[in-house]
Each structure stands twice: as C-alpha cells, then as structure tokens.
A and B are shown apart, each in its own frame.
Chain A
Amino acid sequence: MTDHAIMLRSALTETPTVQRWLIAVALLFLAFFLFLPLFAVFSEAFRNGVGAWWEAIIEPDALAAIRLTLLVAAISVPLNMVFGIAAAWAIAKFEFRGKAFLITLIDLPFSVSPVISGLVYVLLFGSGSLLGPWLKSYGIEILFAVPGIVLATIFVTFPFVARELIPVMQDQGTSDEEAALSLGASGWQTFRHVTLPNIRWGLLYGVLLCNARAMGEFGAVSVVSGHIRGLTDTMPLHIEILYNEYNFAAAFAVASLLVGLALVTLVLKTAIELRFAD
C-alpha cells in the first residue's frame, strides 16, 4: 500500500490497532453480559444430564406453568395486536390534534415499572377496593387468579405491536390506500389487500416481541398472581419458586425453554431484517 493510501485510511477511519482494540472491548463486554448468561442457563440446565432436564419439565407443576403461560400469551397477544393495528392505523393514516400525546400514552407502559403495573390492578381489584369485593360477590375472581395475570400481562406488553407498526405505516404514507379507494375498494378490502401486505413483516416482528415479553413477564405477574403452585404460577414464577427452593437444575431447565423462545424470537427477527435488506 502506498504512503498516501495509509494516510488516507488513517484520516477517514481508525488505525487497524485501534479497530482491533475497540472490537475486542465490545466483544468482551458482550461476552460478560450477554453470551455468558446464555451459556450459564444451558450449562446449569443440563448439569445433571438430559434425563434430569426432561424430568424437571414434565413435572406436573412445571407443565401447569407452561400451560398457563401459553394461555396468557394466547389471550393477551391477539388483543394487543388488534389494538396495535387500530392505533397505528389511526395515528399513521390521519392527522388529528393530540397525536403526539396519544403516542406518548401508548409508550407509557415502557417506562412504568412492571411492579407498578401489577400494583395498579391489586389496588383496583384488591380487597380494599370497590370493584374487587363486588365482583367477588358474583363469583368472579380477578386478583390471584388467571384474569389478573392476563390483565397485568396486557398492561406490560401493551405498546409492542403499536410501537413497531406506527413508524412502518407512517413511512408508507397514504397514497397506496388512496389509490385502492379510488379504484373502488371498500375500506376493509383496502386494509386487507393493500395495507396488510405492506406491514406484515413489521406486524410479525411486533407480535414476536409482544409474545416474548408476554411469556416472560415476571414483575407484574408476580404481584397479581398470588403464587398458587400449579394454579397461578406462570413459567417465570415457577422458575423463581424452584430457584428459591435451591432446586437450581430444575429452575434452569424451565428457564432454558424461555431462553429457547428468546433465541427463536431473535432468529426470526434477524431473518425478517435480512428479508427487508434485500
């Protein structure tokens, strides 16, 4: 390489030594905080062999926790998806007063502590409230039961789909929809055949993140669940119980399932991004 080429490179980028150092720092940092925890979960989960891992998963309370987690996600994710699409449609396709404020409100659960998300439902439906005892007189249990867990999960996972869709829809503008309408399509047909195909990858990503959080939520659910083993324990709560009982191998075995979910989420996300990049 000529003198000038070397000088030019040093003017417009860092020297190779600096680059190597920065890459090393970044990788080391990520190793300590991201890769090692990942590795720890699997090494602890399989410490006593695959058999023990399997035992921990098919244990009745663990199965009950898995079932409950799937149920909660199956209710809360579609609800938040419908909300996300509706909110994104209203925000991205129309100009109205107070739009920025509405977006801020949608973002609110992101900055509220999950424990507070649980707390508000305890205050709303707990024994000291007006609503709780009244519902109880009709035999409806919210707190320390499945409905409470679903509500807390919805609160926490509320913004994910909307947050993902709003920028995607805003980027696309309104001309496609206007074209479809001018060609005689109905509102629903326009959404179904024009808007939805445009946003499907953003929607999928939002749903994936929403689902990962819904299945993994701990703080909010912990407050409203009441920790009744086999009944109101979701997977994360079950992990906590096992861990506090010093049953580490079983705790990590259940945790490894959630790590698997997280990894699948990341792989799908990367696949979607690669698709977009083409």
Chain B
Amino acid sequence: MTAAVSSSRWRFREPGVIPGFGLTFGFAVCYLSLVILIPLSGLVWRSSTLGWQDFWSLASDPRTLSALKVSFGSALLAALINSVFGLVVAWVLVRYRFPGRRIVDAVVDLPFALPTAVAGIALATLYAPNGIIGAQLAGLGFKVAFTPAGIVVALVFVGLPFIVRTVQPVLADVDREVEEAAATLGASRLKIVVRVLLPGLLPAILTGFAMALARGIGEYGSVIFIAGNIPYFSEIAPLLIVIRLEEFNYAAATAVGVVMLSISFLMLLLINLIQSWSRRRYGS
C-alpha cells in the first residue's frame, strides 16, 4: 500500500523491523514446493508426456466421462441441498435460542473431524436397504445406498460444515439496525429477509457452495462404501483413478487425475473471484 508513496522502485517486501522474514518465508516456500508443488507438477508433466491424442482419448473414454458426470452431478446436487439446509442450520444457530444449541453448534464440525471412511461405513449401514433409515425409505420405494442417491447423501454429510461455517459469522455480523431500518421504511418481515438479509448473505453462501462443491467432486472415502461403485451408474471419478492404478494403467489414472485437478483449480479460481467481488462491492 505504501509502496506507491514511499518509492517508485519495485520492491519485493516492504521494509520493517520485525526479523525472521527470510527464514520463515524461505522455509515455507521450500516446504510448499517439496510437498505440494513438485509432486503436483509431476502429475502435469506426466500427462504432457502422454501426447494430446492419447490424453484426449483417455479423458473422453465413456467410463471416465460417466464417472466425472456422476462425481460432478452428485456434488452439485449435494452442494445445492447443503446451501438450503446449511443456511437454515446457520440461521437457527445464530438467531434462535433453544436447548442443546451449543451441542448442535459443535457437532456441525463433525464432518471436518470424522475420518471419511468412518462416515462412509456409518452412512452405508444407515441407508442400506436393511439399515434404520434405508429400510424406511425402501418401504416408500426409494433406494438410496448403492445408487447415485447414496453418493449425494455422503456428499451432503461431507459438505455441510462448509456452508454453515461460511454463512454463520456473516449472519452473526449483520447489524440489527439494518433490519430495523428496513422495517421503518415499511418492509414486512418476509421482505426484510428476502430483499435485505439474503442478498447480504449471498457471497458467503456462494463461497460455501463452491467449497462444498470442490470438496464433493474429489471426495472418496465417505462415498465408496455407500455408492455401490457400479460402472456407468454409481462410479465416481476418484474411484476410477484408484481402479486404473490397481490395473497399473498409470496413463489412464494420470489423464483422469489431470482433468480432476483442472476442475479443482477452476473451483479455487471461482472461490477467489467470488470473494474478491464481494470484497470490492461490500467491503468485507
């Protein structure tokens, strides 16, 4: 910020008195490169040795496309479900007082702390046709486990805290005066919620949505137990990578991996765009 004022000379770092920049920055960047960047670029380099033709034929293989479609579609649906219910959960936790609120608030983080494999077997047991919930649903004619619906269930579990935890602080920060102002201007409660509160929450909801979507597309552990993993039906893209690796078909695994990595980068870009847009416009 002060660079423009103090000098026009290009400077990597603003001068300051606090020591340790070289040490900490150097270590952080080296570690980051060793652990993350070099291995990831290895994946990109490996795919480039495939040649465009081979890469394209591997990436557009019908089974790959179907797996990507299943992963993306179920992640999208789960993120949408979470946007609605996550918003309700965040709203209830911030605005209302009821017995057990603290416990509920703490448990929202469970998907962050619970190993995905544990979540996977627990959800599979519950939603299997002979499980507590699955049996009820089967009676109604719904089959959840071992279908794409099961994948959505697992991804709803995994993605829930992303929405709740991004919306919650923003909602808690909403100034009561803003609602009062809308009321003095004649807005009914419904209009205050729809025209004043929700638009203010939109950037947070979108950010949480994108994060849940990104996580859902790549999710593996919680999904494979409940999905049934039937090719062309309920097989997700990360599982296809594992299958190709077990077949020692590294080229195919790399191709799927690169497609998924590109999707991850796109999601990351999207999240950053949403945030910078909201910062520019709303200043927070």
| Chain A nearest CB, measured from B3 CB (Å) | 8
Pick the contact of A116: B19, B43, B107, B272 (CB < 8 A): B43
Residue from B21, B92, B108, B125 in contact with A34 in the complex, judged by beta carbons closer than 8 Å: B108
Is the CB–CB distance between B89 and A41 below 8 Å?
no
Query: Which one of B18, B32, B88, B117 lies within 8 Å of A93 (CB-CB)?
Result: B18
CB atoms of A116 and B88 under 8 A apart: no
Could you tell me if A111 and B257 are in contact, using CB atoms closer than 8 angstroms? no
B36 within 8 A of A: yes
Neighbouring A residues of B174 by C-beta, 8 Å: none
Closest partner residue, chain A, to B126 (CB atom): A40
Report the separation of the CA atoms of residues A102 and B35 in the bound assembly, to the nearest whole angstrom: 14
A274 → B minimal CB distance (Å):
9
> Interface readout for B155-187 with A: 1 if CB under 8 Å, 0 if not?
011001000000000000000100110010000
Decide: A248 and B39 in contact? CB cutoff 8 A: no
Task: Answer yes or no: B230 CB below 8 A from chain A CBs.
Answer: no
Q: How far is the CA of A176 from the CA of B221 in the complex (A)?
A: 44
Interface-lining segment among A50-58, A196-204, A210-218 = A210-218
CA distance A82 to B24 in the complex (A): 10
Interface contact A265-B122, CB-CB below 8 Å: no
Residue among B89, B95, B121 with the highest chain A CB neighbour number at 10 A: B121
> B18–A174 contact, CB under 8 A?
yes
- Chain A residues within 8 Å of B250, by CB: 122-123, 126, 128
Does the CB pair A219–B40 fall under 8 Å? no
Q: Contact string, A116-135, partner B, CB cutoff 8 A, digits 1/0?
A: 10011111101011000000
24 A-B Cβ contacts within 8 A?
A10-B189, A12-B176, A13-B95, A26-B88, A30-B89, A32-B133, A89-B20, A97-B11, A105-B32, A111-B267, A115-B218, A116-B241, A119-B241, A119-B245, A119-B254, A123-B39, A154-B35, A174-B16, A178-B17, A178-B18, A240-B117, A251-B121, A267-B106, A270-B105
Chain A interface residues (CB < 8 Å from chain B)? 10-14, 19, 22-23, 25-27, 29-30, 32-38, 40-41, 44, 79, 82-83, 85-87, 89-90, 93-97, 102, 104-116, 119-124, 126, 128-129, 151, 154-155, 158, 174, 177-178, 181, 187, 190-191, 209, 212-213, 215-219, 222-223, 235-237, 239-240, 243, 248, 251-252, 255, 258-259, 261-263, 265-267, 269-270
The 7 lowest CB-CB distance pairs between A and B, nearest first, are A216-B115, A113-B218, A218-B221, A219-B220, A187-B19, A37-B122, A115-B238
Given contacts A26-B89, A33-B153, 15 further A-B contacts (CB under 8 A): A27-B104, A36-B132, A85-B24, A94-B21, A97-B13, A102-B32, A104-B268, A105-B32, A114-B221, A116-B241, A212-B115, A236-B116, A239-B118, A255-B115, A258-B115
Residues of chain B whose beta carbon lies under 8 Å from any beta carbon of chain A: 1, 11-14, 16-21, 23-25, 27-29, 31-32, 35-40, 42-43, 46, 85, 88-89, 91-93, 95-96, 98, 102, 104-123, 125-126, 131-133, 153, 156-157, 160, 176, 179-180, 183, 188-189, 192, 211, 214-215, 217-221, 225, 237-239, 241-242, 245, 250, 253-254, 257, 260-261, 264, 267-268, 271-272
